[in-house]
């Protein structure tokens, strides 16, 4: 079968198209029952912008909601304005960014915990938010479900929120598993902390290695499709056992010119300013 024509879309950039072709052919030959998909959530499965306006991350969905006081909103906005430019700054190394990202997540979670957020209001917050999955999300989720391909959503966002986004979109199928930061509620349903080890943008490798059970279950699926939007997402598949092939697809949403080269060096396919799932979907259709 010839390669999907969508690989010639103007948003698609590849360092080594021949290598992409070989990986795809090898994965197709191995068959859909050898494939697993690992995807980031914020700005990978969700849109970066819509009509020129930024779309919210899981954290932003809460930050912008009426569950948060104006004073706290200001503080969360200050954190975003301080740390997001660091997250996407290509002049700084990951080593330099790492402690600053831990600082961002820790401070943001502390602020959220002070807000006494009620569990039973989260569905409403998501419903009233501007959360938006990328165009073509339905085909993506439904196709994976139809072919019983496991989808791991691996997110440094908030698990409770992201689950609600995909539930309300009608695509939280049984083949979907989530690794993320989950909220811990007290007996009256009020947020008291976040559970377990913090997942931030640059420790997904450690998060993957803590979940060996999941990857053990999927050991008959050594062919991986990885989707991300940050260079930190590249380690999401580090727990996969006996990996045979991995195809890494990266959405480059912001600071495109400055970051183009580093994305091309680390992702096999880079989608520049592409708000759709068209290319991942075309690849899935090719593989199944
Ligand atoms: P992801 O792993 O699903 O992409 O989630 C991480 C994103 O969350 C990352 O791009 C930064 C963003 N973020 C916020 O928008 N607000 C916050 O307070 C924090 C801690 C992270
Ligand atoms: Mg992301």
Encode pLDDT of 14-44 as tens digits: 999 999 999 999 999 999 999 999 999 999 9
User: Does the pLDDT of residue 179 top 90, yes or no?
Assistant: yes
Q: How far apart are CA 253 and CA 221, in angstroms?
A: 30
Predicted pLDDT of residue 9: 96
Q: How far is the CA of 125 from the centre of ligand 2 (A)?
A: 20
Output b/e per residue, 225-250; b: 16+ Cβ within 10 A: bbbbbbbbbbbbbebbeeeebbbbbb
Ligand 1 atom at shortest distance from the alpha carbon of 40:
3
Q: Which ligand gives the minimal distance to the CA of 200? A: 1
Q: For a substitution probing ligand 1, which of 156, 207, 254, 259 has the most ligand atoms within 8 Å of its CB? A: 156
Q: 201 CB less than 6 Å from ligand 1?
A: yes
Is the pLDDT reported for residue 148 higher than 90? yes
Q: Which ligand is nearest to the CA of 202?
A: 1
**Residue 43 beta carbon below 6 angstroms from any ligand 1 atom:** yes
| pLDDT tens digits along 218-228 | 999 999 999 99
Ligand 1 within 6 A of 42 CB? yes
pLDDT at 136: 98
Q: Which residue has the tokens 């879309």?
A: 9
Task: Give the model's confidence band at 2: pLDDT under 50 very low, under 70 low, under 90 confident, else very high.
Answer: confident
Instruction: Calculate mean pLDDT across residues 71-89.
Output: 96
Tell me, what's the pLDDT at 217?
95
| CA atoms of 234 and 185, how far apart (whole Å) | 31
Check pocket membership of 157 for ligand 1, CB cut-off 6 A. Answer: yes
Bridge partners of 248, per DSSP, are 226
What is the pLDDT, as a whole number, of residue 176? Answer: 98
Q: What is the pLDDT of residue 89?
A: 93
- State yes or no: pLDDT of 70 exceeds 90: yes
Pocket flag, ligand 1, residue 80 (CB < 6 Å):
yes
Catalytic annotation present for 238 = no
How many angstroms separate the CA atoms of 160 and 157, rounded?
9
Residue 3's pLDDT is: 85
- For ligand 2, a single-atom ion, the residues with CB < 5 A are 40, 42-44, 229
Active site residue 42: yes
> 270: alpha, beta or left, given left = phi > 0 and alpha = psi -120 to 50?
beta
**What is the per-residue pLDDT across 238-272, written as a single tens digit (0 to 9) for each?**
999 999 999 999 999 999 999 999 999 999 999 99
Q: Which of 39, 49, 58 to mutate to test the pocket of ligand 1 (most atoms within 8 A of CB)?
A: 58
Average pLDDT, the chain: 97
Reduced 3-state DSSP string for the chain:
CCCCHHHHCCCEECCCHHHHHHHHHHHHHHCHHHEEEEECCCCCCECCEECCEECCCHHHHHHCCCCCCHHHHHHHHHHHHHHHHHHCCCCCCHHHHHHHHHHHHHHHHHHHHHCCCEHHHHHHHHHCCCCCECECHHHHHHHHHHCCCCEEEEEEEEHHHHHHHHHHCCCCCCCEEEEEECEEECCCCEEEEECCCCCCCCCHHHHHHHCHHHHHHCCCCCEEEEEECCHHHHHCCCCCCCCCEEEEEEEECCCHHHHHHHHHHHCCEEEECCCECHHHHHHHHHHC
Cα(288) to centroid of ligand 1, in Å? Answer: 32
Tell if the pTM clears 0.95, that is, is over it.
yes
Which one, of 234, 227, 225, 223, lies nearest residue 262 by Cα? 234
- Exposed, middle or buried by CB within 10 Å (0-12, 13-18, 19+), for 189? exposed
pLDDT above 90 as % of the chain? 99
Centre of ligand 1 to C-alpha 57, Å, is: 6
pLDDT mean over 102-107? 98
What's the confidence (pLDDT) of residue 78?
97
CA of 80 to the centre of ligand 2 (A): 14
Separation CA 160–CA 138 (nearest Å): 20
The two structure tokens encoding residue 109: 């979670």
Q: How far does the centroid of ligand 2 lie from the alpha carbon of residue 252, in Å?
A: 10
> Which residue in 16, 42, 160, 254 is the catalytic one?
42
pLDDT band for 6, please (50, 70, 90 cuts).
Answer: very high
């Amino acid at each position: 079968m010839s390669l999907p024509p969508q690989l010639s879309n103007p948003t698609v950039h590849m360092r080594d198209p021949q290598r992409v072709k070989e990986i795809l052919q090898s994965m197709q030959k191995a068959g859909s029952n050898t494939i697993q998909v690992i995807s980031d959530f914020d700005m990978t499965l969700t849109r970066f912008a819509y009509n020129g306006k930024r779309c919210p991350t899981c954290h932003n969905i809460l930050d912008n909601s009426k569950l948060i006081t104006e004073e706290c909103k200001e503080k969360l906005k200050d954190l975003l304005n301080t740390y997001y430019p660091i997250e996407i700054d290509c002049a700084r190394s990951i080593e330099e960014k790492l402690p600053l990202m831990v600082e961002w997540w820790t401070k943001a979670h502390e602020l959220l915990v002070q807000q006494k957020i009620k569990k039973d209001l989260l569905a409403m917050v998501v419903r009233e938010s501007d959360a938006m999955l990328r165009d073509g999300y339905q085909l993506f989720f439904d196709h994976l479900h139809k072919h019983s391909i496991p989808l791991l959503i691996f997110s440094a966002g908030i698990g409770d929120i992201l689950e609600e986004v995909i539930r309300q979109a009608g695509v939280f199928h049984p083949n979907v598993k989530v690794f993320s930061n989950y909220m811990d509620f007290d007996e009256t349903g009020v947020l008291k902390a976040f559970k377990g080890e913090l997942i931030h943008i640059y420790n997904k490798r450690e998060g993957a290695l803590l979940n060996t059970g999941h990857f053990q279950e999927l050991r008959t699926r050594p062919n991986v499709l990885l989707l991300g939007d940050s260079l930190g997402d590249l380690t999401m598949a580090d727990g996969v056992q006996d990996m045979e092939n991995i195809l890494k697809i990266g959405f480059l949403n912001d600071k495109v010119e400055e970051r183009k080269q580093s994305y091309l060096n680390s992702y096999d396919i880079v989608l520049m300013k592409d708000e759709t799932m068209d290319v991942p979907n075309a690849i899935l259709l090719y593989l199944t």
